[in-house]
Amino acid sequence: MALNDPRTLRAWTYYDWANSVHSLVIVSSIFPVYFSATALNETGGPVINFLGLSVKNSVLFSYTISAAFLLTALLSPICTALADYSGRKKAFMKLFCYTGAISCSLLFFFTRDTTTFAVICFGLSLVGWGGSIVFYNSYLPDIATEDQFDRVSARGFSMGYIGSVLLMVLNLLVILKRDWFGNISEGLASRLAFLTVGLWWIGFAQIPFNRLPDGVPKPALAGSYLLNGFRELRTVFERVRQQALTGRFLLAFFVYNMGVQTVMYVATLFGSDELKMDGQNLIILILLLQLVAIPGAYGFARLSDRIGNTYTLMVIIFIWVGVCAGAYAVQTQGQFFGLAAIVGLVMGGVQSLSRSTYAKLIPATTETASYFSFYDVTEKLSIVLGTLLYGLIEQLTGSMRNSVLVLLGLFVVGFFLLWRIPSQKIYHTRLETDEVL
């Protein structure tokens, strides 16, 4: 397939449009609000029983994210290696996509009596989302040339923000104007939102599934697919070890992404528990994040054209340090909204540029899924540790603000780790100069 084909690039971005509704509706807005109001004990308290353990619902929410992404991190390298060896990258992407979307749809049955079932479905939706993303990301170097990575990656994230906001507005219409829909209960309106996420995800995913190419299978070798998949993984791992800049970037990404992802996953709970914001204001807050992230993704992509990826990421991480300092001190809902606007600007940029920076650092290869599995494992383990740390510190100290200080420290360390990596614009210019000499 020819690189930079406009139809293929457009189809690829539609998977962001399809799956980002999960991040917005299920992880960040309607589901957390519904979870806090529904996952209660018999007396209406937040400490509930889950598989024989007594745990606060907000802590359980954080731990579920940790467990789901830990499982994804374990599955990802094996599945990507099998996909590269068998040439079935798109088939694996479909498997995880449908697992996540169906799990979202099953949240329609979430009531106080089915909390355990709902937590398991929530976890599986995260596994499906995270597992499909690694294959989706790995298509970037397959369909675009390096000079287009930043812009195409930013376009994908922007499509995701636009699509998720669109479905979110439709869901809010049902929740806030229930009399237009037969005076249904607020709980039913929320559960319908979970169902629409699954349908939206599966439906729009058909656009990239119909356009993206399958992988190229390897020549048949002795042994099972699983054995050869592990051989493939070991080969790619050895190559990654020999690429110093790739390893440095993965370490820096691991550290600062712990902060980024944890903020994104627990921001709603922070507003609810620490600032006592009601559900409607929290949802408006999340919508603000999505809308501001669109110009942020494009703006930082353009900045990277001028100063390079690494320096641009350092600018973004420096802003994240300020965000954490502000979150620790914030006292009013108005201040929190202002802080959220800044988060939105840097949220799109850090996600988009992290993906495209890694794509620039890996060599030209047909084993893109295996290479991106290391990026994916790094991302998922950072989410596991970040959310685990956040939940643990809250559980031990009783305050989310103390957890925010830990995130601030992670961003500072990530900033200095990025400092060790030449900015890609300068790095490639130096390579071209060396080749001329």
3-state secondary structure the chain: CCCCCHHHHHHHHHHHHHHHHHHHHHHHCHHHHHHHHHCCCCCCCCEEEECCEEEEHHHHHHHHHHHHHHHHHHHHHHHHHHHHHHCCHHHHHHHHHHHHHHHHHHHHHCCHHHHHHHHHHHHHHHHHHHHHHHHHHHCHHHHCCHHHHHHHHHHHHHHHHHHHHHHHHHHHHHHHCHHHHCCCCHHHHHHHHHHHHHHHHHHHHHHHHHHCCCCCCCCCCCCCHHHHHHHHHHHHHHHHHHCHHHHHHHHHHHHHHHHHHHHHHHHHHHHHHHCCCCHHHHHHHHHHHHHHHHHHHHHHHHHHHHHCHHHHHHHHHHHHHHHHHHHHHCCCHHHHHHHHHHHHHHHHHHHHHHHHHHHHHCCCCCCHHHHHHHHHHHHHHHHHHHHHHHHHHHHHHCCHHHHHHHHHHHHHHHHHHHCCCCCHHHHHHHHHHHHHC
Containing domain of residue 76, as a range?
6-436
* Poorest-pLDDT segment among 140-144, 206-210, 382-386, 428-432: 428-432
The residue with greater pLDDT, 244 or 161, is: 161
pLDDT(363) > 80: no
The residue with greater pLDDT, 61 or 288, is: 61
Cβ–Cβ under 8 Å, residues 410 and 258: yes
Position 197 scores a pLDDT of 97
Domains held by the chain: number: 1
Phi-psi category of residue 182: left, alpha or beta, with phi > 0 → left and psi -120 to 50 → alpha: left
Domain-located, residue 384: yes
Average pLDDT over residues 65-82: 84
Position 434 scores a pLDDT of 35
Statement: the pTM of the whole predicted model exceeds 0.85: no
pLDDT(48) > 70: yes
Domain containing residue 340: CATH number: 1.20.1250.20
Domain-located, residue 422: yes
Domain-located, residue 213: yes
Average pLDDT of the residues of the chain: 83
Position 107 scores a pLDDT of 96
Top-confidence range, 109-123, 324-338, 379-393? 109-123
Domain-located, residue 1: no
Average pLDDT over residues 392-398: 76
Domain-located, residue 409: yes
Domain-located, residue 17: yes
The residue with greater pLDDT, 365 or 139, is: 139
Domain-located, residue 129: yes
Cβ–Cβ under 8 Å, residues 321 and 408: yes
Confidence of residue 432 (pLDDT cuts 50, 70, 90): very low
Position 1 scores a pLDDT of 61
Residue 99 burial (C-beta neighbours within 10 Å; 0-12, 13-18, 19+): middle
Q: In whole angstroms, give the CA distance from residue 198 to residue 183.
A: 24
User: Could you tell me the CA-to-CA distances from 349 to 186, 269, 283 in Å, in that order?
Assistant: 35, 23, 22
Position 216 scores a pLDDT of 63
Average pLDDT over residues 262-286: 70
pLDDT(19) > 90: yes
